[in-house]
Amino acid sequence: MQLKRVVVTGLGAVTPLGNTVSEYWNNLVSGVSGAGPITRFDASKFRTRFACEVKGFDPGNYLDRKEARKMDPFVHYAIASTDEAIADSKIKDSGIDFNRVGVIWGSGIGGLLTFQEEVLNFGSGDGTPRFNPFFIPKMIVDSSAGLISMRNGFRGPNYCTVSACASSNNALIDAFTYIRTGRINVCITGGSEAAVTIAGVGGFNALKAMSERNDEPQKASRPYDKDRDGFVLGEGSCALVLEEYEHAVKRGAKIYCEIAGSGMSSDAYHITAPHPEGIGFVLMLQDALRDAEIDPSAIDYINTHGTSTPLGDPLELNAIYEVFGEDAYKMNISSTKSMHGHLLGAAGAVEAVACIKAIENQMVPPTINLDNLDETIDPRFNLTPNVASKRNIRYAMSNGFGFGGHNAAVVFKRMD
């Protein structure tokens, strides 16, 4: 089979750094932190009392308020970001066949706030089962994909990928695969998450996974820094319109970049911890390079998973060195989670948009709060500390890892 080329023709964003792609990108390259005290609930008794929340977002700007009440915030974010991406791509104004437009969306948790509220309401009552009739459709993780399809009349493949923090990378890869094999012409893809809730913060605190730097929340997410103490929870959504290259050219679409390849693997080791030798990371990187049909020296920038956890950060860099060798020191590396936090199932989509904008602007966003490099990390890596860096970027890679040992990477290529 002759595989088709796949390009990106639309972008959308609702993030802790801004509720449009331009706001998100401008704050990203400016090194702005999206972290601050939690406003969603009273977090005063929690070990972590801050997060990277979406700010100034009103679902009423996108949805009828009656309809919005039937949806969880992770769906609100998904609809807002896909509205922007679809408008950016102009696919609805092009007379294309909606039977060949798919929606493949990623989320690791889905309607956590909805689930939490319904259980708390039941627990505070007299035991009589009174549940919102929209409880299940609001909570289920695939509701974003279904509602995006219904909102726009897209009748191609429609489902949700769930692989924890690799979810939206897997969604991108599936969308890429459906188009390159000729099954569809266009796919709306990305991810959304809204886990800044009592249950979300409490659960990750119980795992001892999150930073507890409550006195300096904006400095809490510090990948590769020796003083890091865990990740910072984020929320939001990013969306991408993927399209078959000839289809995009025929309708005169703006093309941001090409999807060159992807890689996937499993650690087959532990439900929450990465393999201590980084075996799964290495296999993923090798698979991505092989699928993209490029040498390691071709990669100019890697947006790492880089969560700011003591265990994961050095293992990922060690895997990069094992695969790329001395070329690992010639590329730029950064973790944008230092600014927007960890968006869990939406992380891959948010970081994919960062890679695509980096290619478009030939600018690498920084790793902020990197003040004292961990002594276990090779100082020859260019981790783009604190300040964005101009660079000729032809190929960029986005890495994603999820609880359960799920590893997924996407390679983006500048259009020649």
Size of the chain in residues = 416
From the list 309, 341, 306, 161, the residue with the least C-alpha distance to 235 is 341
Strand-pair category, 158-161 with 101-106: parallel
Report the 3 state secondary structure along 4-54. CCEEEEEEEEEECCECCHHHHHHHHHCCCCCCEECCCCCCCCCCCCEEECC
Based on the residue annotation, tell me whether 305 is a catalytic residue of this protein.
yes
Give the type of residue at 362.
Q
Out of 160, 165, 238, 257, which one is annotated catalytic?
165
β-bridge partners, 302: 333, 397
The active-site residue, picked from 340, 342, 355, 406, is 342
Please tell me the distance from the alpha carbon of residue 327 to that of residue 381, in angstroms, as a whole number. 10
Paired strand residues for 402: 406
Known catalytic residue at 270? no
Instruction: List the end-to-end C-alpha distance of the chain, in Å, as a whole number.
Output: 24
The rounded distance, in Å, linking the Cα atoms of 39 and 197 is: 10
Q: What 8-state DSSP symbol labels residue 320? A: H
Closest CA to 110 of 86, 142, 78: 142
| Marked catalytic residue, from 247, 275, 305, 406 | 305
Structure tokens at 308: 């700011």
Active site (annotated) includes residue 355: no
Please answer whether residues 38 and 50 qualify as being in contact, where contact means their C-beta atoms are separated by less than 8 angstroms.
yes
Max Cα distance, the chain (Å): 66
Q: Which of 101, 107, 114, 110 is nearest to 151 (CA)?
A: 101
Distance CA 360, CA 118 (A): 44
Active site residues: 165, 305, 342
